[in-house]
Amino acid sequence: MKTPPLAKDLKLCLCHGCGKTCDVSKPTHHCDRCGAPLHARKTDAIARCWAFLIAALVFYVPANLLPVMHTVMAGSGVDSTIAGGVLEFWESGAWDIALIIFIASIGVPAIKFLALGLLLITAQRKSNWARRQRSQLYRFVELIGYWSMLDVLVVALVASLVQMQELGTIEPRAGILFFGMVVVMTMLAAMSYDPRLIWEGEPETDKEDV
Amino acid sequence: MQDDNVETAPIKSRRWNVSLVWIVPVVAILVGASLVVRNWMQEGPTITITFRTGDGLTAHKTQVKYRNVLIGEVTAVELAKDKKSVSAKVQLSKEAETFARSDSTFWVVKPRIGAGGVTGLDTLLSGSFIGADAGQSSEVKDTFKGLESPPPVTYGESGKRFTLYAKDLGSLDIGSPIYYRKIPVGQVISYALDKDGKGVNIEIFVDAPNDGFVTADTRFWNASGIDVDVGANGLKVNTESLSSMLIGGLAFGEPETSTGDAVATEGARFDLFADSQAALAPPNGKSQTIVMRFDQAMRGLSVGAPVEFMGVDFGRVTSVQLDFDPVKRSFPVMVEAVIYPERMGPAHAKMISAMDHAPEDQRAVGELIAIFVKHGLRAQARSGNLLTGQLYVSLDFYPNVKEVPFDPGKYPIMMPTTPGSLEKVQEQFQALVDKFSKLPVDKIANNLDASLNALHKSINQFNDKTLPNIDNTLTKMTATVQIANQALSEDSPQREQLKESLDEIQRVSRSLRDLSDYLGRHPESLIRGRPKSKEATSLEP
């Protein structure tokens, strides 16, 4: 079975802006219809993805170590970290809530790091291992990206609602900022990753051949 | 990397090969590093504080505060290895590094209700915290013993600490107020037994600026409770304040005679007097111990009874002991007393100068007293209170007492005694009774009986013989009086005759007078006789 020629081979490229197929052999690197700059792939995808991923990893450490919330109840203030909260719920028997918090706040970012790292390494090595699954993984990472801000939202809500002066107040702490940064960075990393890189490298005939 | 594939396309040259996006992780790392550095910079020393109980201590919850500012947090609460205490690990903040000093103090702040007030109410809701007070020492230490109660005075407070020495603590406690002119100016901060266990050292703190009123001449006294004084002026109730009645208190002041001494230095030692009267009394000066031997029972003489000299209180009885005299085979009572000659006031100074006396020389003191003894100085147990029979010792001069031997070189001074006044009366009375008992009462009674019998006989005789005679005489006497009466009565002939006689005499005397008058005017009539021309009547005046 003959595979159709690749766009690269025909020196063609899709415009991001209007979707027109342009000829990249021309000296101008702009779409001749809408004038948008033409890119065969997302610019610097791997480097950018790595950069954001590393930044997210760096922020992941203070996000978990620093307290995210300061609860003042009847005069005594307590700082709580995410891991501390999970442990507290777990110890008090609310294992379900503990599990939800653990997955949403610690598990999901960790999964994202692993997934993006895996995608990046395989893309750099132009590996042709499980390409279809890898692209599925990428779509999954993009999907859960929206939901990672759950913690930030909870803290923001609670902090704005629980302001009962002397009886009790809840204030956000630096940790939640870093947590938000982790989420933003991982989303940026996922955005800057180009899934087309999965399919680059050795011809995909092997898959068809098998 | 796509640019490589398109040879013909003009390559946008970039100054660096590295993508600008790498700034993001660099910034992230910088932020993270700064956090780590800040955290590391802020982290102070970790100390361990041991408490008797872990009451109110929770890991990661209990805070350490100084002047209500957070300086650390308890990170762990564990039982000590010997299971006798609880050790709390405290992570101090960087600014609180100075709290890890050897003389810093830590205590658990919890609600406390005492007579002095209620403290730590805010911890009822918020839970306990550990209070801290930074030490001044430069020695770094990381293990502390927590105090069971908050120290009443923190290091930073300005004022002075003094030590008072007392026989016992009385009703004082840590936090007991100290009054100066009835204004609270400080408090008791600690107390401890003296090293030999014979007294109590009470440490007090007087706040600035009132600490300036404590001078070298200041006296401290116990102002606890109520001082009820019944005197010649009536009932007097004295107290410093209601709270000092309940929780005890101290007061200080200067005696009237004080002459603005220098301000006392920090840590100065003072004696604590039992009451203001004792405190403000003139200084005791050097004491002398005297021993007195009484040959009578000393019931009512107790240790602490006053020793007076000519009515001036100048000493205290320190012991009353029974002794045995092997020579006389008697049990004398040996009374030991401490006297303070300086309490005599100006008399003492005058005496010293007059006698050229050196009070430091024990021998000279003995000789001085020897002179007084020669002049009749004696100790006497006197009754101070007739109702309770309390005795006191009085030193006084008795000019006509027997001379006794006195050894001036002996110490303690052996003061000769003289029997007490009441006892003297008793003795005299006893002697009188003895004399009475020696009288031959039986003989006297016999004689008296005989005499009475004789008297009885005489009276009988008198009745039988003499009385009838007397009766007769009386009857006769009555008759005589009756006769006399009759003679003298208005209508008696004797009286009539007497009257007539008297009239006659009157007439005679008148005639005589007429005659003498006529003769006075007419003396010639004696010779010539009465002239005829004139009537005798015309001669009448």
| Cα separation, B200 vs B187, whole angstroms | 16
Is the pLDDT higher at B18 or at B516? B516
Cβ–Cβ below 8 Å for A58 and B29 = yes
| Cα separation, A105 vs B163, whole angstroms | 62
3-class SS of residue B363: helix
Cβ–Cβ below 8 Å for A51 and B21 = yes
Pairing of strands B227-231, B413-415: unpaired
Q: Which residues contact B297 (CB under 8 A, 6 or more apart)?
A: B333
The CATH architecture assigned to A42-209 reads: Up-down Bundle (1.20)
Of chain A, the end-to-end C-alpha distance in Å amounts to 13
| Cα separation, B416 vs B430, whole angstroms | 24
Give the pLDDT confidence of A7-24 residue by residue, as tens digits: 777 788 888 888 888 887
Residues of chain A in contact with residue B10, where contact means CB-CB under 8 angstroms, are 27, 29
Q: What six digits make up the tokens of B25?
A: 């992780």
Residues of chain A in contact with residue B35, where contact means CB-CB under 8 angstroms, are 62, 66, 174
Confidence class of residue B513 from pLDDT cuts 50, 70 and 90? very high
Question: pTM for the whole thing?
Answer: 0.49
| Distance between A48 CA and the closest CA of chain B, angstroms | 6
Q: Phi first, then psi: what are they for A4, rounded to 5°?
A: -65, 155
- For an interface test with A, which of B65, B124, B126 has the most A Cβ atoms less than 10 Å from its Cβ? B126
Of chain B, the end-to-end C-alpha distance in Å amounts to 203
Residues of chain A in contact with residue B60, where contact means CB-CB under 8 angstroms, are 78
| Cα separation, A61 vs A59, whole angstroms | 5
- The structure tokens 């005197």 sit at B231
Q: Does B19 touch chain A (CB under 8 A)?
A: yes
Cβ–Cβ below 8 Å for A59 and B32 = yes
Pairing of strands B288-294, B333-339: antiparallel
Average pLDDT, chain B: 80
- Name the residue among A58, A74, A78 with its Cβ closest to that of B61: A78
Cβ–Cβ below 8 Å for B27 and A55 = yes
Q: Does B472 touch chain A (CB under 8 A)?
A: no
- Burial call A11-32: b when 16+ CB within 10 Å, e when fewer: bbbebeeeeeebebeeeebebe
Give the pLDDT confidence of B213-250 residue by residue, as tens digits: 888 888 888 876 666 666 556 666 766 666 666 667 88
For B206, B279, B315, B409, B525, the CA distances from B271, given in Å and listed in that order, are 16, 9, 18, 32, 132
- Name the residue among A25, A51, A174 with its Cβ closest to that of B25: A51
| Distance between A199 CA and the closest CA of chain B, angstroms | 15
Cβ–Cβ below 8 Å for A40 and B22 = no
Average pLDDT over residues B127-151: 82
Average pLDDT over residues B376-403: 80
Is the pLDDT higher at A25 or at A111? A111
3-class SS of residue B518: helix
Q: What six digits make up the tokens of B63?
A: 């805070």
Cβ–Cβ below 8 Å for B21 and A52 = yes
Q: Which pLDDT belongs to residue A207?
A: 46
Q: Which pLDDT belongs to residue B4?
A: 46
Give the pLDDT confidence of B428-481 residue by residue, as tens digits: 888 888 888 888 888 889 999 999 999 999 999 888 888 888 889 999 999 999
Cβ–Cβ below 8 Å for A40 and B21 = no
3-class SS of residue B208: coil
For B513, B514, B525, B528, the CA distances from B531, given in Å and listed in that order, are 19, 16, 8, 8
| Cα separation, B6 vs A202, whole angstroms | 19
DSSP state of B11: P
| pLDDT above 90 (res A128) | no
Q: What six digits make up the tokens of B379?
A: 């100790």
| pLDDT above 50 (res B6) | no
| Cα separation, A201 vs A8, whole angstroms | 12
The single-letter code of the amino acid at B243 is: S
Give the pLDDT confidence of B522-531 residue by residue, as tens digits: 888 878 777 6
